[in-house]
Amino acid sequence: MKKFLLGLGLLAFTLTCYAQDLKLTLTLDKIQINKLSEEGADEIYFSVVEFPSNGKGELKTIPEHPLYWSSEHVDKIKNLTLWNNSLKSGQSVEILVSLVEHDIAPWNTDDLLGAFKLQIKNDNGKLVTQWSGKNAKDEVSAVSGQDKQRVYTLVGEGGEYKLYVSLAKAKQ
C-alpha cells in the first residue's frame, strides 16, 4: 500500500510540474499602414530578439527570405507567428519586436519605424506579462476567441504603421 501511495504521490507531483509549463505564441494578427515612410513603397521586416532568463539571447528576422515585404502587399500579412516557446515554472523571457524599413547599403541604413517589448514570466503556471513600446502608442482591445489584443501604432522615420498582436497560451 505504501508503494502505491508513493507512486500516486509521484504521479501527482509529475502532473503538477508538467501543468505548470506554459506553451506560448506571440502572433501578429494583422498590420495596417497609416503612412509610408518613403515615397512609393516601403520595404519592411521584423527583427525579433529573445532574452530568456536561463540562456543566451536569440535574434531572428521575419521574413528570413526575401529579407523584406513590400508595403504594397502588407494586407496579406495576417496571423504571422513572431515568437513561440515554452516556459517552465519560474522562467521568464523578454521579447523585443522591431518593425524596420529596409534600405540599400552602404548609402542608407535601415530605419527603425518603432518597437514593442513584451516581458513574460511563468509564475507557477500563472502567466504574468508586461508590455511597453518605443515610438509606439499602445492600446488594448478585446477580440473574440482571445483574451486581449494589443494594438501598437508605430511612428518613426516619417512612417506610421499599426500592429495588432496577441499572446496566446496553447491548450493543455
The span from the CA of 172 to the CA of 166, in Å, is 18
What are the pLDDT digits (tens) for 50-78? 999 988 889 999 998 778 999 999 999 99
Amino acid at 12: A
Q: What is the CATH number of the domain that holds 131?
A: 2.60.40
Q: Which domain holds residue 149?
A: 2-169
What are the pLDDT digits (tens) for 91-144? 999 999 999 999 877 777 788 999 999 999 999 999 999 998 876 666 766 554
Query: Residue 151's beta-bridge partner residues?
Result: 139, 164
Query: What is the pLDDT confidence band of residue 15, given thresholds at 50, 70 and 90?
Result: very low
Contact 125, 18 (CB under 8 A): no
Residue whose C-alpha cell reads 502567466 in the numeric block: 127
The span from the CA of 120 to the CA of 111, in Å, is 27
| % of the chain with per-residue pLDDT over 90 | 60
pTM (two decimals): 0.82
Residue spans of alpha helices (H) in 53-128: none
Cis peptide before 63 (omega within 30 of 0): yes
Contact 138, 132 (CB under 8 A): yes
Domains of the chain: total: 1
